[in-house]
């Protein structure tokens, strides 16, 4: 009885989803056609600069005729929507959604920059920059939650990492020392989270809240007492930008991704390492099994508590690293509440990316792009308030979580304290 | 509101045969504080011991938090470090002196300086009197939004939900209340003020309803959704304050000042900001208490929260209770923002509510999710906050120390086992520690 109910639901859900997605694609296509494309004059062009900052030689500007490009994009979207409605993409639906979203955003840019030029390279560059801390925060969440511990304290850990990174980096006048300090600070908070939520089985959200309040208070306290009064304590040397030899010569993508801050490279490496470790090693299998079914894992001789402790400490260190990006990577000083909710966006990116490293990275790029675009809109003179663009990450996450578009699959034992019998 | 007397009150019935009404009332209250069923009639004296236990852990948590805060103050004081370089004994003495001075300043800032009060009363100068008594009233002003926000989280806890979105609900409540406050002109106060309050509650309720509804319909966890709603509320207020709701003659992102008819009246002249909102908060706290423990609806809400399966079996529609609980919690948080606008600021500025959302979780836990406990915890935190302002001026200790102390208190409240280990308390006989919420999935 339950089996049939479950299977009938399993069929029913994709149907509605197929319908919703198909309609969405078509609607987006129609918006591109009527909202953006139809109003354009015939001869108008859009110019995209392909010059990310910091490089002299570049590609020539990319000139598009606005109206035809928009209409083509619209047609492609409508076509994809029709296919989805009639046949359905099945497993490829998310890919199709990504494509349509990409086309739509591109079309929006083409429309917004009609008659003028906009620097696409710069936009992508700043999107990546803004995505870095979000990705790192999301990775922190992935590490923790895959082992079944909810971590909403990423924000607090980031703040602490940023503050300690700046403080220790300034005292030692060495950015590497600062980084180690940031990792230790984040790891210590992670350990505290583990101590409360694993040993004392405190509700993990309460424990995360404790850390958030604590970190916010502590960093502001130290900052007001020392960092602001003695500027030499808040002036760490930052990691210099360096170019990866061959890769940075690739047009457009090269300067964006491979002529950058070491944090960006570290992010790529960590993405690959964590993805491999989680899904292709024995360690990862154990790690995930603790998050999915701790009792079964325990029965098979995996130490659930130790695995979870390792997870929270690693997660804390990752968040500390994300915080260090601010003080040792980009800004070069600590300001109170400087992470400004990036930890929570990271949490959103993790959910949006379905608790996988690369999914989280994709979501972070998207969120970073929304952030970068919002500051661009004012320059282009578009009447959409930037705040609405800045809302999109949160709304998108809620939509994904509600299962309207896509399905989020969290680890089964996420947030459940483990009781050994 | 259905006020059926019969169903949800086994406690009231045990209370009736009791000859002396007063201690019995206290006993019922305590039983509710412990959220355990009524005791067998044989255990007559044990409620007093229980009272001790109910208060003991929070009191020790507060004490430990203050001690740790003192340690932090001593550790970060240069005076103490210098004294330690002279000798260890002098260092210890100096740390006690520094911490004592800091907490004395905090105390004076929170309650006022008794010497100053006496002098002012003798001089008879009304302004001096008001200044002398301002600190304690200012503490109550600071406690008022805490009461509302703490009640919001506590109510959600009782319904088995985690409202981490009080911050966003505060913002939205403040936005709607401000709008009603300045946009409606020419209404008498008796109409305008309640209208503005209702608008604030409604705005907050909407912000709580959305995650609640999403949870009831799709199972999406309210913690994530309320966090997202927080940030949506921040952006929304950013937009409103730089656009539609911006004061026309100003370059700052500030809303117009609300009409005087929408302001919560103040009781004293200028330096004292003590206003009607405090009593509204107490009234609302009583209403929440009455609702939770004296009505069928409250009973249903608590049952749906503490044991959804049993509730469903008993015919309570848990899904409906999820979004009703969240809406009510949102309304309470919305009132916190409304109170700040109508009572204190009289306009809406960016980031006016700093951290009430997280603090309110601490309040609800410290108050054991009981309205009375929340009121007491709020008074304590409000006192701490307003006293810390003076401490910052006098001793140069940043106000953020309060957050650290709050976090410590919250940690001890969340893991009472730590307190029991430190102070060697016995494990309570009944294992009925409140289990708050389930994981992401539940």
Q: Does A216 touch chain B (CB under 8 A)?
A: yes
| Distances A48 to A36, A66, A356 between C-alpha atoms, Å | 17, 11, 33
Show residues of chain A in contact with B243, CB under 8 Å: 385
Higher pLDDT, B19 or A164: A164
Q: Does A77 touch chain B (CB under 8 A)?
A: no
Beta strands A259-260 and A62-65 are unpaired
Q: Please report the ipTM that was assigned to this predicted complex.
A: 0.80
Rounded CA separation A414/A401 (Å): 15
Q: Band the pLDDT of B24: cuts 50, 70, 90.
A: low
- Give chain A's domains with CATH numbers: 15-115 (no CATH), 122-402 (1.10.3470)
Are B414 and A207 a contacting pair at CB < 8 A? yes
Show residues of chain B in contact with A385, CB under 8 Å: 239, 242-243
Q: Band the pLDDT of B325: cuts 50, 70, 90.
A: very high
Answer yes or no: is pLDDT of A353 > 90. no
Answer yes or no: is pLDDT of A134 > 60. yes
Q: Band the pLDDT of B36: cuts 50, 70, 90.
A: very low
**What pLDDT, on a 0 to 100 scale, did the predictor assign at position A197?**
86
Answer yes or no: is pLDDT of A97 > 80. no
The predicted-structure confidence for A212-233, as pLDDT tens digits, reads as follows: 889 988 998 988 888 888 888 8
Average pLDDT for A317-333: 89
Answer yes or no: is pLDDT of A118 > 80. no
pTM of the model: 0.82
**What pLDDT, on a 0 to 100 scale, did the predictor assign at position A318?**
93
Of A320, A369, A378, A357, which Cα lies nearest the Cα of A129?
A: A369
Residue the block writes with tokens 């950013």: B238
Chain A nearest CA to B96, separation (Å): 19
Chain B nearest CA to A415, separation (Å): 4
**What pLDDT, on a 0 to 100 scale, did the predictor assign at position A7?**
40
Show residues of chain B in contact with A415, CB under 8 Å: 438-441
Terminus-to-terminus CA distance in chain B, angstroms? 29
Of B115, B147, B117, which Cα lies nearest the Cα of B130?
A: B117
**What pLDDT, on a 0 to 100 scale, did the predictor assign at position A124?**
82
Are B76 and A403 a contacting pair at CB < 8 A? no
> What percent of chain A has pLDDT above 90?
18
Are B220 and A347 a contacting pair at CB < 8 A? no
The helix/strand/coil state of A147 is coil
Neighbours of A246 (CB within 10 A): 9
Answer yes or no: is pLDDT of A112 > 50. yes
Nearest residue on chain A to B419, alpha-carbon basis:
A200
Rounded CA separation B219/B208 (Å): 15
**What pLDDT, on a 0 to 100 scale, did the predictor assign at position B279?**
92
8 A C-beta contact, residue B206 and residue B330: yes
**What pLDDT, on a 0 to 100 scale, did the predictor assign at position A1?**
35
The predicted-structure confidence for B60-112, as pLDDT tens digits, reads as follows: 888 898 999 888 888 888 888 888 888 888 888 888 888 888 888 888 888 88
Neighbours of B282 (CB within 10 A): 14
Of A286, A206, A120, which Cα lies nearest the Cα of B406?
A: A206
Beta strands A45-49 and A62-65 are antiparallel
**What pLDDT, on a 0 to 100 scale, did the predictor assign at position A241?**
79
The predicted-structure confidence for A148-168, as pLDDT tens digits, reads as follows: 888 888 999 999 999 999 999
Q: Band the pLDDT of B433: cuts 50, 70, 90.
A: very low
Answer yes or no: is pLDDT of A9 > 60. no
Dihedral angle over CA of B91, B93, B96, B101, nearest 10: -100
Higher pLDDT, A244 or B165: B165
8 A C-beta contact, residue A123 and residue A108: no
Q: Band the pLDDT of B52: cuts 50, 70, 90.
A: low
Higher pLDDT, B39 or B182: B182
Query: CB within 8 A of B328, min separation 6: which ones?
Result: B155, B205, B208
Query: CB within 8 A of A155, min separation 6: which ones?
Result: A137, A212, A215, A339, A341, A342, A343, A344
Average pLDDT for A240-260: 72
**What pLDDT, on a 0 to 100 scale, did the predictor assign at position B26?**
54
Query: CB within 8 A of A30, min separation 6: which ones?
Result: A74, A78
Partner residue facing B361 (CB), from A150, A209, A220: A209
Query: CB within 8 A of A314, min separation 6: which ones?
Result: A143, A144, A187, A190
Show residues of chain B in contact with A347, CB under 8 Å: 224, 227
**What pLDDT, on a 0 to 100 scale, did the predictor assign at position B282?**
93
Helix locations, B112-221, DSSP H: 114-123, 126-158, 166-183, 189-218
Partner residue facing B398 (CB), from A220, A351, A403: A220
| Distances A43 to A69, A288, A382, B44 between C-alpha atoms, Å | 12, 56, 21, 92
Give, to the nearest 10 degrees, the angle between helix B401-414 and helix A204-222: 160
Show residues of chain A in contact with B407, CB under 8 Å: 210-211, 213-214, 217
| Distances A121 to A53, A251, B199 between C-alpha atoms, Å | 8, 10, 47
The helix/strand/coil state of A204 is helix
Q: Band the pLDDT of A309: cuts 50, 70, 90.
A: very high
Of B228, B275, B55, B406, which Cα lies nearest the Cα of A221?
A: B406
Show residues of chain B in contact with A226, CB under 8 Å: 76
Are A391 and B236 a contacting pair at CB < 8 A? yes
Average pLDDT for B139-154: 91
**What pLDDT, on a 0 to 100 scale, did the predictor assign at position A234?**
80
């Amino acid at each position: 009885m339950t089996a049939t109910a479950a299977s009938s639901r399993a069929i029913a859900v994709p149907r509605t989803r197929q319908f919703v997605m198909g309609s969405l694609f078509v609607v987006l296509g129609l918006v591109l056609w009527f909202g953006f494309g139809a109003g354009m004059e015939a001869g108008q062009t859009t110019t995209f600069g392909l010059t990310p900052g910091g490089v002299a030689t570049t590609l020539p500007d990319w000139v598009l005729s606005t109206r035809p490009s928009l209409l083509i994009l619209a047609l492609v979207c409508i076509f994809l929507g029709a296919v989805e409605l009639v046949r359905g993409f099945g497993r490829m639906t998310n890919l199709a959604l990504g494509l349509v979203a990409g086309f739509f955003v591109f079309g929006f840019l083409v429309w917004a920059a009609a008659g003028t030029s906009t620097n696409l390279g710069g936009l992508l560059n700043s999107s990546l920059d803004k995505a870095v801390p979000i990705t790192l925060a999301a990775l922190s969440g992935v590490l923790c939650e895959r082992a079944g511990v909810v971590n909403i304290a990423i924000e607090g850990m980031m703040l602490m990492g940023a503050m300690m990174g700046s403080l220790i980096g300034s005292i030692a006048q060495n950015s590497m020392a600062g980084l180690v300090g940031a990792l230790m600070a984040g790891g210590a908070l992670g350990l505290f989270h583990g101590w409360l939520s694993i040993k004392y089985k405190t509700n993990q959200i309460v424990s995360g809240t404790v850390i958030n309040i604590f970190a916010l208070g502590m960093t502001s306290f130290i900052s007001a007492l020392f960092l602001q009064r003695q500027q030499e304590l808040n002036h760490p040397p930052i990691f210099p930008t360096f170019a990866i030899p061959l890769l940075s010569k690739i047009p457009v993508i090269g300067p964006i991704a491979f002529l950058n801050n070491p944090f960006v490279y570290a992010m790529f490496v960590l993405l690959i390492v964590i993805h491999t470790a989680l899904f292709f090693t024995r360690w990862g299998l154990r790690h995930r099994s603790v998050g999915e079914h701790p009792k079964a894992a325990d029965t098979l001789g995996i130490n659930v508590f130790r695995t979870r402790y390792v997870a929270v400490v690693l997660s804390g260190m990752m968040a500390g690293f994300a915080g260090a990006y601010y003080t040792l990577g980009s800004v070069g000083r600590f300001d109170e509440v400087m992470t400004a909710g990036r930890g929570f966006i990271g949490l959103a990116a993790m959910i949006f990316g379905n608790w996988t490293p690369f999914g989280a990275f994709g979501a972070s790029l998207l969120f970073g792009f929304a952030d970068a675009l919002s500051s661009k809109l004012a320059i282009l003179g578009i009447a959409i308030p930037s705040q609405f663009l800045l809302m999109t990450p949160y709304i998108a996450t809620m939509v994904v979580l509600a299962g309207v578009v896509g399905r989020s699959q969290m680890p089964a034992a996420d947030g459940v304290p483990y009781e050994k019998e | 509101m259905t006020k059926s007397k019969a169903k949800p009150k086994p406690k009231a019935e045990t209370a009736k045969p009791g000859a002396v009404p007063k201690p019995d009332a206290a006993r019922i209250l305590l039983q509710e504080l412990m959220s355990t069923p009524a005791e067998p009639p044989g255990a007559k004296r044990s409620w007093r011991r229980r009272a001790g236990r109910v208060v003991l852990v929070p009191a020790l948590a507060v004490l430990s938090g203050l001690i740790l805060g003192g340690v932090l103050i001593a550790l970060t004081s240069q005076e103490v470090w210098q004294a330690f370089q002279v000798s260890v004994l002098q260092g210890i003495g100096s740390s006690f002196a520094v911490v004592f001075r800091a907490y004395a300043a905090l105390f004076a800032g929170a309650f006022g300086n008794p010497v100053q009060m006496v002098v002012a009363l003798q001089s008879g100068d009304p302004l001096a009197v008001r200044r002398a008594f301002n600190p304690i009233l200012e503490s109550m002003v600071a406690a008022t939004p805490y009461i509302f926000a703490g009640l919001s989280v506590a109510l959600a806890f009782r319904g088995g939900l985690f409202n981490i979105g009080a911050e966003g609900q505060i913002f939205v409540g403040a936005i709607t209340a401000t709008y009603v406050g300045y946009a409606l002109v020419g209404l008498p106060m008796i109409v305008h003020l309640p209208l503005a309050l209702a608008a604030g509650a409604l705005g907050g309720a909407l912000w709580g309803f959305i995650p609640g509804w999403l949870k009831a319909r799709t199972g999406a966890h309210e913690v994530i959704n309320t966090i997202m709603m927080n940030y949506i509320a921040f952006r929304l207020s950013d937009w409103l304050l730089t656009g539609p709701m911006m004061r026309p003659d100003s370059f700052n992102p500030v809303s117009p000042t609300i009409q005087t008819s929408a302001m919560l009246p103040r009781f004293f002249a200028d330096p004292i900001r003590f206003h009607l909102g405090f009593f509204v908060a107490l009234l609302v706290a009583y209403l929440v208490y009455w609702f939770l423990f004296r009505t069928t609806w409250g009973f249903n809400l608590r049952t749906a929260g503490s044991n959804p399966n049993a509730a469903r079996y008993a015919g309570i529609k848990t899904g409906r209770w999820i979004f009703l609980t969240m809406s009510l919690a949102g309304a309470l948080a919305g009132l916190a923002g409304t109170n700040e606008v109508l009572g204190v600021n009289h306009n809406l500025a960016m980031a006016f509510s700093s951290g009430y959302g997280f603090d309110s979780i601490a309040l609800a836990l410290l108050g054991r999710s009981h309205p009375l406990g929340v009121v007491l915890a709020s008074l304590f935190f409000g006192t701490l906050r307003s006293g810390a302002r003076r401490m910052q001026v006098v001793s140069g200790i940043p106000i953020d120390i309060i957050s650290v102390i709050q976090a410590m208190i919250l940690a001890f409240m969340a893991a009472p086992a730590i307190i029991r280990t430190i102070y060697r308390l016995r494990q309570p006989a009944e294992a009925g520690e409140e289990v708050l919420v389930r994981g992401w999935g539940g």
